[in-house]
Chain A
């Protein structure tokens, strides 16, 4: 993929939520582009529309008006099945609450996206161990999520998001439940992966620790982009 090509193109995006007879506008006329390998943050206070925008970029939600073109695909026109395929093939998610599958071991949690992609056993094992080594958790491969600390859980979530080598990783407040040390570790891990694998990271965050690592900061307030700063 051409590094200078826009992998995300957001055009005059509007997202309204129905509230009985009225509606709440979560995103208002958002437009921006993102290229491969960016380490970008959607920054702003609670309720500014960061998560909503991230959800639309991840094809988990549809815009009310405008469109988001992700990897050449219009989110607005994707069917449920196509959206699932896009997420499965090209997008990794990291959530604030880790969202690990409790019945699976660390290894199996990380392996899960590869199973959905119907990868072979050997390829899966190799990829999972590699992903766990990126986050320094090879020794915890057999542990269950309930045996991990918050920091470890989030590193497993990072490994799960990265194992399929996605084009884009969308991280929603990935450090919100972590202490300072773990927050720095997680962000440094993601930054390293961004540099080594050229994976595009887009964060929704208002954590100053995360913001200090960003290469680009898109500031949202009341559903509008109020600033778009290149920090490189």
Chain B
């Protein structure tokens, strides 16, 4: 008997489930994108590239694409910088430091719905703690309608996403920092390198693989932030927090245009593939080892 036949009981169940509930839906998604199906009626027509034309001209789709990129940029910047700054101070294994890392990590284990509600409450313009706090310390002019003002809502949600995930990135950076050989830093210090040149000449280049992972993980997460946006704003006000995943959900289950939703999914997949490919290149080429 051939080797792979003997191993069939091991890979077949997984492959079957994967084919049925993952590969098949992904492929039929392409098929639906060429139809005018509403998701309810038993029949639908083949309409060629009409959905593609409609979606690519849809103002709301454009808006959700731009929002998604804004959301990504805001999170990438804040999450990466803050977690790196924290991680640089958290590499030792003392009790206090382990506890601090665990505390920062804590929001990661909460559901996005919980995190969303916690911050919807904190952000509430009249009853929320944030505006109340600002008022108490005499900064009442800083008070905002955090989620209701379409100019800042997407950034308010991005801040929450960063709040919930910085701890996870700290862990990644700490692992990267701990893998840097101590002797290297020690000898550079003996050679008279200052704090900053130590960081920029040695730590940072050696940290590049960890940084690449943080960046690519954060990017993918920012595209997957459906739960949080859906809980906090539902895409509003005036589509100012609509991102691709909420757009797809909305066109399927609120406007009953399944064909259009499937088309938007194809665009979404294409975008993710491009970004993943670019970052994969980055991850490979940035790998520096001593």
A and B interact physically: no
